[in-house]
Amino acid sequence: MLDHTDPNDLIVETARRFAQDRLAPGAAAREKAGRIEPEIVRELGEMGFLGATLSSDWGGSEIDTETYARVVEEIAAGDGAVSTLVSVHNAPTCEILQHYGSQAQKEQWLAPMATGAAVGSFALTEPGAGSEASGLRTRAVRDGNDYVITGSKQFISNAVIGKTTLLFAMTDPAAGKKGMSCFVVANDTPGYQIARVEEKLGQKASDTCHLVFDGMRVPESQRIGEEGAGYKIALSTLEAGRIGIAAQSVGMARAALDYAIAYAKERRSFGKAIIDHQAVGFRLVEAKTKLEASRQLVLNAARLKDAGKPALEAAAMAKLFASEAAEAICSAAIQTLGGYGYLSDYPVERIYRDVRVCQIYEGTSDIQKIILQRML
């Protein structure tokens, strides 16, 4: 229940209205076009959702992690592809710049990102180095006051629609993970190439790119933190990133479930609404229970982070459980619609495809289990 006198609830309600009025009606067309409209990005910026957790010093909204998670859920309930843009842009990208960027870097790069004037990308994953971040092959070789960057990145969101990229490269390959450094670059830098925009199962409006850096020259002033600090910087936003993806999962699953429940109340068979048949009703009850369990895991992780308490385990659990539950919930929604659920005329088919990637990006389910096993 929203309290309309609570500022945080008002923020969430704003996100809900925007998602239902602006995002959900255009989600199918957005997918068909394979792009998110610039006006949607502009509106997200105007509402403060692209600088959600950032300090007001840089034009951010300064909302807490719990409220941010609730906002991401609402946006994802409207369109999963748009929620990916919001999540990647906020955390890890903006969060790294806020915590590790210099004053000059924040003025030049973070301030435009906080208002939505520049959407950000996070370029860590490579064709041969996904979950094993320490295995990067992209090189940054110092040349005077510059670095010359050569290599490639894979599965990078927002590179087409964005203007700014945080990228990680090896400045000292012999040092292993301690030889990784972080840089901020403009996407129109000579040598920055979008080699391919991937065709995907879902979230087709959110661009996912293969990037190539061909002798890209970057001044030392665009290195974030010290040389060799890149691995620490990359790991620093795991909590926020995983909370964001878990919240996405909840939002998309909720949208599919809400549609299935509404359909089951209207569709009749054997003289009554199908929701009154135990086989259907039990399926929806189980799905709603999984949805609520997922939401509470997300909110618990967010509250721990807000309280300054260790939240890595809770965030990994939330991401693991919510992403896998979301696929099951969306599958139950399709089953409830029967043959219609399999058609692209109905949104549950698209949402099912959109939500599948939540078990993969920001650390696969297998990686979450490895992390949690180590913490036992």
What is the set of active-site residues? 362
Residue in 186, 33, 162, 172 with CA at minimum distance from that of residue 108: 186
Are 124 and 234 in contact, with CB atoms under 8 Å apart? yes
Are 277 and 269 in contact, with CB atoms under 8 Å apart? yes
**107 is written with which tokens?**
């003025």
| Cα 291 from chain centre | 19
Residue in 231, 219, 60 with CA at minimum distance from that of residue 132: 231
Question: What's the angle, vertex CA 228, arms to CA 301 and CA 369, rounded to 5?
Answer: 35
The conformation of residue 19, written as its DSSP 8-state character, comes to I
Residue in 80, 85, 170 with CA at minimum distance from that of residue 124: 170
Q: How far apart are CA 241 and CA 238, in angstroms?
A: 5
Are 94 and 51 in contact, with CB atoms under 8 Å apart? yes
The conformation of residue 22, written as its DSSP 8-state character, comes to I
Beta strands 120-123 and 180-186: pairing type?
unpaired
